[in-house]
Structure 1
Amino acid sequence: MQASGNDCPISLLPEDVLWEVFLLNTCRASDHHQPLTTARHSSQVCRKWRFIFLSSSTIWGRLLDVDDLARATDDWRKEVVARTGDALLWVYGHIRSYEQRQFLLTLLKDNWERVEILDIDHRGPHRRELWEFLKEPAPQLCKFQFVTTYMKSKVLPLCLFGDNAPRLRHFSGCTIPCKFSSNASWIPNLTSATFSRTFTPEEVLTALQRMPRLVSVVVHTNSNYKTFHWQGAQVALPKLRMLEVQGGIRRACALLECITPSPGCCLSIHDAAYHSLAGGFENHIQYEQYENAIKPYILSYFSLHPPSSVGFRLLKNQLDLALDPDEWGRRFHVVIDISFLSSSLLMKELMSSTSLSHIRTFNLQLLDNDSFASYFQTNIAVITTLEAFCPSVTTLRTNEHTLRQLLKCPLSITSSLFPALVTLQFTGPSMTWPGDEPPHQTFLNLRKSMGRPFDFVTLSEPEDASVFSGCLKHHTGFLVKLGDR
């Protein structure tokens, strides 16, 4: 017998438990998640639920989604704001239109002292005077994130929050000419911060000295500051778990030399000129300086958090070494100059450690470039490094182009790679022409002749199944899987 509405388990939950569930639903999990829409639908389920929603200003205070409200009627916008009562406000969204901007500015000017979270992505031109209210004290502000693509003028006021934001813990204004004072009263309380390109390296380090609580920091380096001389003491960040540097490799190196990381701190370095190492390394001494700067990070992180999945991305003279995000969402990423790979003391020390024995998944990507048709054959140091990382690998994740180039290596090299491999995953569509033998078929034949057949083959594109099906008759005993299904 089917239970009636009053007998449903969820109807038996007390109001305080339901309130906690509804409050959890106000947290935006992604840009596609619309908590305001969820709340509106939930409030129409039954009288009990509607009563809980209408009597909770806290819930409505967290639902100020500018995207959603900008598409609504003026009456509904006023109703939502009225329902927030005196509660703290979470304001977020993407500003794309004049209507959105006007609604947002009016809301913030009238209620700035109640804003707890401000997370805005503003695309398009806007005048600095529109944001003058940010000079005012922000007594309740905990998180401030402001992103824009408009770089022609300083958008935010120089003196933010009237130097009065005692609860602020997260500050990010990375893609705008946003600069705060290293003497601001609120920066010692920050647990995460982003430095825009307007900061000089000296200003970054000066500010970091006053941020002992930092857990995560992002620094965007400026190409105008190629060298600098730090006269201060080494900057110790005992709680730092994530350090990300975006910009030139050599400028990142200079910053890292001045920072003492906490054990297991995750490092992520991204080069502005992704096609090659920006600025390059003129000699072995310069590159050794870079390796010495990243060495405390990479050895400590690999030791305390042995990776189960590693990615190699090869492009020109650059090897990107990246790990999958860990349980806290941190993603380790460093750049290695292949020109110095054969003499790299850091890589030799890493390859001799026990950390690599935990690797089970290997993501190998070689960018499509005509000048590197025989890339693996001409870069023996890359093969040597690959061999050190792959003994325990059971899953190879790659694309057709990379596998095709790998098969051009001498059999003596190919046969020594991935001795424990049982699963092959393709990450891109097939590029095989009619009449050509697909590289995965050649690879399967090679593995079979070596007595190392596969258990699984995963294809990311459904249309690849027709290309792959031609070799099925030559192989038995393994499963073919399409995507994640």
Structure 2
Amino acid sequence: MQNTNDCQLSRTTKRCAVDALPPELLLVIFLNNTELVDNWDDHRLTTARYTSQVSRKWRSLILASASIWGRLLNIRKIGQATDEWREELRSRVGDAMLWITGEMLHTCSRPFLTTLLKEKWANVQIFDIVIYQLDPLVEIWPILQSKAPNLEFFAVEAYSSPTLPVIPPIFDDVAPRLRHFQGRPMQSVIPFSPAAPWLTNLRSISFSRTHTVYFIFSVLKSAPLLEMVVIIGSKYLPAEAVTTGEAANALSILLPRLKRLRIHQRHFTEVFSLLKHIKAPPCSLVVTWMRGLETGRSPDIEKTNAVSVEWVSAFVNDHQAKSIILELPEDASRYPLGSSNAHFLSIAVGMPEDSRQIPSFAAEIYIDHSSGYSALRELATCPGLSSVQRLTLVRMPPAAGKELVSLYQAFSSVTELVIDRCCHDNIQAFQLYDSLGSQHRVSIFPLLQTVQVRGCNNFSMFVGSLLDFLEYRARVGSPVLLLDLGEDFDEGFTEDQKIRLRQIDGLVVSKPRNVC
């Protein structure tokens, strides 16, 4: 029989499996721990320090690796450190490629950043910082005007608007490896030329409220490899400063690799110009908070609605969308400056791999104008709608039930209908316009099996139309099998309503346990 002390000894002297790995593989693991995360929650530097204290072997490997320390230059974390530690960190980076990230919150981090950039700007691979004051940006700007031979990612968010000299140009026009150029769109003050040679290799770019559509077009013509474009406006931009891009109307901007286009708070005429002239494969489009529609000319509004539907149709057809959300904003007053009465119907599209995730496509149709519903009815001709299996209707206006019958009929494969804070007129339309055709054929959602009701604040007015719809479906031979009332449902049924539900063959009602 083995001695107990021998067992104890063998356990304490047994080598850790990770420690048995070769140094080269350990370094790969340590480098993986330095990969960038959200700057608001960046503990990579702390992780590296703790890792170096695990064993002598790990410590020697980490301290000797300039590549590890070169990736850990988070300005916010460095600003919280002592002067001695900042100097130690600067000595450890050696000649490695540098990843400089984070917010400049502490004045003590400013000289560290300036000195580091003066010494090693040519080694900077990632530069992604937030600056809250004017002076630091002005101080480092001459350095940013130097050649950047290794720079791959550049993003600066500056909460001030200094006038920066444009000669020499940023990066001195030399940044051959640059792939991502972001001025942090809401607060961009970084000047650059639309003819800069480094634009040719970009994969993503963002434009701020100061960039006109004509400038944007000029840049996009120089950047054919772009995969993501972000264009941000501002609710504070005066109306007379809005540019429609008429000077660029003859242009076709070819972006064959574009995967995502986001447009936020831009005047609707600018949105039209962008969507009309950018020629790209069906890609993810997110358009939000268009401005100026409530005072716009009818022909211009019609053109904007029509081109938006063209992008929706192309995306749905190409990506075989499984989920679509039609939603009216909860609070129209959220729309900026003069848009308090605006009503935009948002069309959000989910992807086949997970129809319940945040949609990768969202466009807005202005339905306070007659062309809005016309454009949506035009969407009904989109063949791809027949692949949608889950349709969600959120706060749909009363008129939508009657106006969008042809659109609803195009969703021929929907098996799950989610009704979220909609009025009873909508569900009445599903029954009324079916019954006008034939009592024995369902033309709206013929494959429907599940109805979910969410957030119904006035269920007593809605429930009658809901029961009528469920009874109608059963009567014509296309019964709903599951009525899901959700966890937030807190109203009960009357005895008469319970009887009606029980008389619908095959219907299962799912509701919270505390609701009768």
- When the two structures are superposed, what TM-score results if normalisation uses the length of structure 2? 0.74
* Partner of residue 182 from structure 2, selected from 172, 175, 186: 172
Q: 2:347 is matched by which residue type in structure 1?
A: L
**Secondary structure of residue in 1 paired with 2:206:** strand
How far off its partner does 1:115 sit? 1.0
How far off its partner does 1:144 sit? 0.4
CA contact (8 A) 1:376 1:382 kept: no
The alignment-based identity, stated in percent, is 28
Query: Which residue number corresponds to residue 304 of structure 2?
Result: 290
**Secondary structure of residue in 2 paired with 1:238:** coil
* Partner of residue 228 from structure 2, selected from 167, 192, 216: 216
Query: Which residue number corresponds to residue 26 of structure 1?
Result: 34
**Structure 1 stretches lacking a partner, 5+ long:** 368-374
* Partner of residue 420 from structure 1, selected from 448, 465, 471: 448
CA contact (8 A) 2:147 2:171 kept: yes
Give a deviation string over 1:402-451, Cα, whole Å, max 9, x none. 3677568686379986652436374x7x867xxx8597899589648855
**Secondary structure of residue in 1 paired with 2:18:** helix
Query: Which residue number corresponds to residue 332 of structure 1?
Result: 361
Q: Distance in 2 between matches of 1:162 and 1:120?
A: 20
Q: Is residue 254 from structure 1 mapped to residue 282 from structure 2 by the alignment? A: no
CA contact (8 A) 2:401 2:425 kept: no
How far off its partner does 1:37 sit? 2.3
How far off its partner does 1:8 sit? 5.1
Q: Distance in 2 between matches of 1:480 and 1:56?
A: 59
CA contact (8 A) 2:428 2:465 kept: no
Q: Distance in 1 between matches of 2:56 and 2:451?
A: 54
How far off its partner does 1:310 sit? 1.7
Q: 2:170 is matched by which residue type in structure 1?
A: L
Query: Which residue number corresponds to residue 10 of structure 1?
Result: 18
How far off its partner does 1:116 sit? 0.6
CA RMSD of aligned residues (A): 4.0
Pair 312,296 (structure 1): closer, same or farther in 2 beyond 3 Å: closer
- Which deviates more, 350-359 or 211-220? 350-359
**Secondary structure of residue in 1 paired with 2:89:** helix
Q: Distance in 2 between matches of 1:398 and 1:422?
A: 11
Q: Is residue 141 from structure 1 mapped to residue 151 from structure 2 by the alignment? A: yes
Query: Which residue number corresponds to residue 183 of structure 1?
Result: 195
**Structure 2 stretches lacking a partner, 5+ long:** 1-6, 330-341, 436-441
Q: Distance in 2 between matches of 1:235 and 1:87?
A: 39
How far off its partner does 1:89 sit? 0.7
**Secondary structure of residue in 1 paired with 2:320:** coil
**Secondary structure of residue in 2 paired with 1:301:** helix
Q: Distance in 2 between matches of 1:236 and 1:363?
A: 34
**Secondary structure of residue in 2 paired with 1:44:** coil
Q: Distance in 1 between matches of 2:416 and 2:55?
A: 50
CA contact (8 A) 2:260 2:284 kept: yes
How far off its partner does 1:28 sit? 2.3
**Secondary structure of residue in 2 paired with 1:186:** helix
Q: Is residue 265 from structure 1 mapped to residue 291 from structure 2 by the alignment? A: no
Larger of the two Rg values belongs to structure: 2
Where does 1:288-327 land on structure 2 (aligned, <5 Å)?
A: 288-291=302-305, 293-294=307-308, 297-315=311-329, 316-324=342-350
Where does 1:75-474 land on structure 2 (aligned, <5 Å)?
A: 75-126=84-135, 128-132=137-141, 133-150=143-160, 152-154=161-163, 159-173=169-183, 174=185, 175-220=187-232, 224-227=241-244, 228-230=246-248, 233-246=251-264, 247-261=266-280, 263-273=281-291, 278=293, 281-283=296-298, 285-291=299-305, 293-294=307-308, 297-315=311-329, 316-324=342-350, 331-338=360-367, 339-344=370-375, 347-366=376-395, 375-377=397-399, 380-382=402-404, 384-389=406-411, 391-396=412-417, 399=420, 401-402=421-422, 412=432, 420-422=448-450, 424=452, 426=454, 447=470, 450=474, 451-454=479-482, 458-459=486-487, 464=488, 467=490
**Secondary structure of residue in 2 paired with 1:229:** helix
Pair 207,325 (structure 1): closer, same or farther in 2 beyond 3 Å: same
CA contact (8 A) 1:321 1:334 kept: yes
Q: Distance in 2 between matches of 1:313 and 1:115?
A: 44
Pair 19,240 (structure 1): closer, same or farther in 2 beyond 3 Å: same
Query: Which residue number corresponds to residue 83 of structure 2?
Result: 74
- Which deviates more, 82-91 or 248-257? 248-257
Q: Is residue 52 from structure 1 mapped to residue 61 from structure 2 by the alignment? A: yes
Q: Distance in 2 between matches of 1:143 and 1:44?
A: 32
Q: Distance in 1 between matches of 2:508 and 2:387?
A: 27
Query: Which residue number corresponds to residue 333 of structure 2?
Result: none
**Secondary structure of residue in 2 paired with 1:26:** coil
CA contact (8 A) 2:228 2:260 kept: yes
Pair 364,67 (structure 1): closer, same or farther in 2 beyond 3 Å: farther
Q: 2:448 is matched by which residue type in structure 1?
A: A
CA contact (8 A) 1:190 1:214 kept: yes
Q: 1:236 is matched by which residue type in structure 2?
A: L
**Secondary structure of residue in 2 paired with 1:87:** coil
How far off its partner does 1:169 sit? 1.1
